[in-house]
Amino acid sequence: MDYSQFLAMKQEIGLLVVFLVVFLYDVFMPRKGVAADGRAYVKGTSLVAVISFAIFTAACFLCPCIYEPASAFGDMYVTTAVAATIKNILNVGVLIVLIQAMRWADSDIQVVRRGEFYQLLLITLFGMYLMMSGRHFLLFIIGLESASLPLAAMVALDKHRHESTEAAIKYILTACFSSAIFMMGLSFVYGLTGSLYFVDIASALSTQASTGLLTIAIGFVMAGIGFKLSLVPFHLWTGDVYQGAPTSVTSYLSVISKGATAFAFVVVMVQVFGQFYTAAWEWMLYALIILTITVGNLFAIRQRNMKRFLAFSSVSQAGYIMLGVIGVNEMALAALIFYVLVYIFSNLAAFGVIQAIENKTGLVDMDSYRGLCRTNPRLSFCMMLAMFSLAGIPPFAGFFSKFFIFTGALNQGSVAMYVLVLIALINTIISLYYYLLVVKAMYISPDECKVPAFKSATSERIGLVITVAGVIFLGLVSCIYDSILALCGVA
């Protein structure tokens, strides 16, 4: 075997190095710190993790060789400039998540097992990389599983809260079921085509007529990936898991996992089924998008818990992301990438505020946010910007990302797409209602605020500054979208 093939996987190797640094540091450094319950822990793990990951992120951005197309293992693994960019974008998101999680990870309860958090997180990210770059379903499944199973452990990290454990159990049960369905679909595909290579499947399918079995197989594959994206009706785990998981894990789940899967979804659909069975899978996706956006919104309206509320909001946002998949062209793909980028920043801004308040007071109810602007004006302001961006109010980034994704979808020009965008627009208005509920609670409600005025930790502040800057500038600095568009046009 030619081991030099591994060099094609530059980002994966980099990530592995970061993982090893964190792992070795956490395992072999002397345990000098003493936690509240008397257990010893390694000091500085968080800092090592954040700094090494930051270096890795910066290196990936700056090194031009990352963007060169490459492949390995007989084309099981393929990377392109677009994939590299997506990975870089996700890296930025992960970096923000890590920064925001520091306060939680360093808390008295978590500090002894924070190493696990960082290691598991990096492993799942590694899995997502494989998902996005895999061109063979075996590699894809390895990626999918290593992006799923460690997540269950992460969800359970808050061992002292039984919701956390419950969420983990629900997550792992439904995830296993979903994987089973997914693999069943794949086995149908394998039976029909005799290969698990994307290219081979596509070429085999091109010579045979559509069958019922194949359509059902596509449906199963879509369900399997739709589970991770929490598309309706595969989304039911979302509310419970997002609510139960530690908030840092929730934010990771809601943006990074979703963004990576969205891109993997595009790859699978376009490369495997795209050319020849467009009508079938696009209509399925069409129905899923309408369901996802609408049902997500309808559930989000009723939520009082901020994490659960953002869970359903993220369900509905996933529907918008899928608009970029259904309009298969360069512009739609660029819009999708941009949407994910903006979504990462907007959602992380919201989660940053939630984490800051939860770490300080333990409150996550929307009711406890009433009158927040009087005790914590800056946090309220960040939250307001995040909500505005998620709702798509100009001039914040969310407006532009929605605008581009709608434009990309409309570029197809069919009546069905106009109807779809119209439904999406109506849902945007509905979403405006619940996003503004938060703003109303913070700014207009006359009640005394349960959250006292406090000073948030430095790490939380850094995270908020980065995300809020993103919310404000991502849309206005037009060159960002232009460069993504150029990249997709080339690819």
Partner 1 sequence: MEATIPVLILAMPLLMFLFLGLFGKFLSPRVSGIIGTAGMGVVLLMCYYTAYVYFFSGSPEFINAEGNRLQAIICNVDWLQFTDNLIIRLGFLLDPISAMMLVVISTISFMVHLYSNGYMRDHHGVYERGFQRFYAFLALFSFSMLGLVVATNIFQMYIFWELVGASSYLLIGFYFTKPSAVAASKKAFIVTRFADLGFLIGILVLSYYTGTFNFTDMTSVPVAGMNDVYAVSAETATGVFNIFQSKAAAGFMGCSVMTWALVLIFMGGMGKSAMMPLHIWLPDAMEGPTPVSALIHAATMVVAGVYLVARLFPLFLVNAEFGGYALDVVTWVGAITAAYAAMVACTQLDIKRVLAFSTISQIAFMMVSLGVSREEFHNLGYMASMFHLFTHAMFKALLFLGAGALIHAVGSNDYTDMHGLRKHMPITHITFLIGCLSIAGIIPFSGFFSKDEILSSCFGNSIFAYVWMSAVAALTAFYMFRLYFLIFWWKEHKVHEGHHAPKDQPWTMTLPLIILAVVATLCGLIPFGNYVTWDGHPYDFMAHFNWTIAGISLAVAVIAILVAARMYKTENPLPAKMRQAMPRLWDWCRNRFYFDELYMFITHKIIFDKICRPIAWFDRHIIDGTMDGLATITNKASYAIRGLQSGNTQNYVWVYLIGALALGGVTVAVIFLFC
- Contact residues for partner 1, defined by CB under 8 A: 169-170, 173-174, 177-178, 181, 210, 212, 215-220, 222-223, 227, 232-234, 236-237, 239-240, 280, 283-284, 287-288, 295, 297-299, 301-302, 430, 433
Please tell me the distance from the alpha carbon of residue 189 to that of residue 181, in angstroms, as a whole number.
13
Nearer to partner 1, 126 or 234 (CB): 234
Taking the C-alpha atoms of residue 252 and residue 256, their distance in angstroms, rounded to an integer, is: 5
CB closer to partner 1, 87 vs 308: 308
Query: What does the H/E/C string look like for 359-418?
Result: HHHCCCECHHHCCHHHHCHHHHHHHHHHHHHHHCCCCCHHHHHHHHHHHHHHCCCCHHHH
Q: Is the backbone peptide bond immediately before 394 cis, with ω within 30 degrees of 0? A: no
Q: Which is nearer to partner 1, 418 or 433 (CB)?
A: 433
What spatial distance separates the first Cα and last Cα of the chain, rounded to whole Å?
30
Cis peptide before 233 (omega within 30 of 0): yes
Measure the CA–CA gap between 181 and 173, rounded to whole angstroms: 13
> Considering beta carbons, is residue 218 or 391 the nearer one to partner 1?
218
Q: Which residue, 22 or 315, is less far from partner 1 as judged by CB? A: 315
Measuring CA to CA, how many Å separate 228 from each of 128, 221, 438? 11, 12, 27
As measured in angstroms, the least distance from the Cβ of 290 to partner 1 is 13
To the nearest whole angstrom, how small is the minimum distance from the Cβ of residue 176 to partner 1?
Answer: 10
Specify whether the CB–CB gap between 224 and 264 falls below 8 A: no
Spatial contact of 369 and 382, defined as CB atoms under 8 Å apart: no
Q: CB of residue 421 vs partner 1: minimum separation in angstroms?
A: 18
User: From the CB of 108, what's the least distance to partner 1, in Å?
Assistant: 30
What is the dihedral sign for C-alpha 487, 72, 269, 120?
Answer: negative
Which of 482, 474, 296, 309 lies closest to 389, judged by CA?
474
CB of 181 to partner 1, least distance (A): 5
Distance CA 144, CA 132 (A): 9
Q: Least Å distance between CB 239 and partner 1?
A: 6
Which of 106/240 has CB closer to partner 1? 240
Closest distance of CB 306 from partner 1, Å: 17
The nearer residue to partner 1, 220 or 252, going by C-beta atoms, is 220
Question: Angle at CA 275, nearest 5°, toward 227 and 125?
Answer: 35
Report in angstroms how near the CB of residue 398 gets to partner 1 at its nearest.
21
Judged by beta carbon, residue 104 or residue 182, the one nearer partner 1 is 182
